[in-house]
Chain A
Amino acid sequence: MREINVSDITSNIKEMCIEAAHFLSGDMSRAFNAAVENESSELGKKVLSQLKDNLKIAGEEMIPICQDTGMAVVFMEIGQDLHFTGGNLEEAINEGVRQGYKEGYLRKSVVSDPIERINTKDNTPAVIHYNIVLGEKVKITVAPKGFGSENMSRIFMLKPADGIEGVKNAVLTAVRDAGPNACPPMVVGVGIGGTFEKCAILAKKALTRPVDMPSDIPYVKELECELLDRINSMGIGPGGLGGKITAMAINIETYATHIAGLPVAVNICCHVNRHAVREL
């Protein structure tokens, strides 16, 4: 059994919050550069070149890429032979978020209660998803999520008879409705199957998969390709001002489901699809 002190979790999460707010991950950079090359509309190109300059300024001067530095979503994949010492793991994660948002000059966008709406002033609590896996390591993914795009996300409880066409319609509807609100070019995360909550978590998880890594299930990979083509023929374009590149990628995750159901969740994300990953 391996041991790890929770203070290591805190310090890593702090750094990852700051990193994700200022630098695109490698996969997102590649997707972004491809978008710059492929856009042909005049305003679309102008938007993308602004975003390119924006990324440069963000990294060089440590100004967050976007002022909405999000609510911190943290995925913890914990090996079952790992033992956390030195305190409460959940508190350690939140402490990392607290320190990262303070020391990184990130915006505090979290309110303690959805109706009373008092700002917690340190961007905690995070939304944390735990998974127990084999091994003695922990894989941490920090994916701060902005709400311009989060608000445009949808869940559809389809019927089995709706089939793959129903899934396509659901995704295209969500993207069309999101339009300029979600700061296109977007990244679209889709979860198909499971239960009501499982498909939502799958969709969120899908956003953290490298955007240049297609699904390894053949029909899902095909579906990703087809949907990306169809999304990019809608004309929404960068900034919603018209153009070819409405989405840079769509990642789909699937899971077993019930004989009576076909849940589909569409988690819309913007071009600042933040995700930092570390394994300890």
Chain B
Amino acid sequence: MDKHINVPFSKEEAKKLKIGEYVYLSGTIYTARDAAHKRMDEALNNEEELPFNIEGNIIYYMGPSPAREGRPIGSAGPTTASRMDKYTPRLLDMGMIGMVGKGKRTDAVKDAVIRNGAVYFAAVGGAGALLSKAIISSEVIAYDDLGTEAIRKLEIKDFPVIVVMDSEGNDLYKAVTAGMQKRI
């Protein structure tokens, strides 16, 4: 049942993913959280370019703890996605294929996910030490002054996530509390 996919990936690939599926991501992803989203949004308002090509790419909502010597990164688990909801539809409309975070999303995000055939993954919240082991390298590529909130380019290998919202807008969080306990 577990799947392995490489990032970036296409809409065709995204379409095959269904809620409840356990997926291992490998390749390149970018981190951004509250402050970086705000800046990206402002950049777009000023008709400036984003610090990286968003098309087919994934944003990981994460701000790591500092790396110890010899490690690429410190603890590196997901932060709550809903704080980014305000900025997300715009990025999805620009071709972002997916997000990794934790927690519920607004209907506006869901609509944008459906409209663009994207996908929202959850990583396990509070598993930052474990998740850091799937990160091979980390490089700050923008907004260095934001410290932990800077945009980082991460190389990942078999990074474990679960599909919580698929390209049809099905929502695993809602499904489980609606009493739909059957596993998909």
Contact = CB atoms under 8 A, between A and B. Distances in A.
Contacts of A151: 80
A181 interface: yes
A235 B179 contact: yes
A244 B63 CA distance: 30
Contacts of B179: 235
Chain A residues touching B, majority SS: loop
Nearest to B172: A241
B164 interface: yes
A109 B181 CA distance: 37
A179 B177 contact: yes
B79 interface: yes
Contacts, number: 156
Given A43-B20, A63-B75, A109-B148, A270 B162 contact: no
Interface string B25-52: 0000000000100000000000000000
Nearest to A107: B65
Given A50-B160, A108-B148, A240 B176 contact: yes
Nearest to B67: A105
B125 A236 contact: no
Nearest to A121: B147
B73 to A, nearest CB: 9
Given A105-B66, A181-B103, A61 B80 contact: no
Interface in B70-87: 71, 74-77, 79-80, 82
Given A69-B65, A119-B147, A234-B177, A241 B128 contact: no
A180 B165 CA distance: 13
A117 B38 CA distance: 13
A53 interface: yes
Interface string A113-142: 000010101000000000000000000000
B64 interface: yes
B183 A237 contact: no
11 contacts: A43-B22, A50-B124, A54-B129, A54-B130, A63-B74, A64-B75, A69-B75, A105-B74, A180-B122, A242-B175, A270-B125
Given A58-B129, A241-B173, 20 more contacts: A41-B181, A51-B124, A61-B129, A63-B132, A66-B128, A67-B65, A67-B75, A106-B65, A107-B64, A107-B75, A119-B146, A148-B79, A148-B125, A179-B173, A181-B80, A183-B126, A235-B179, A242-B172, A270-B125, A271-B126
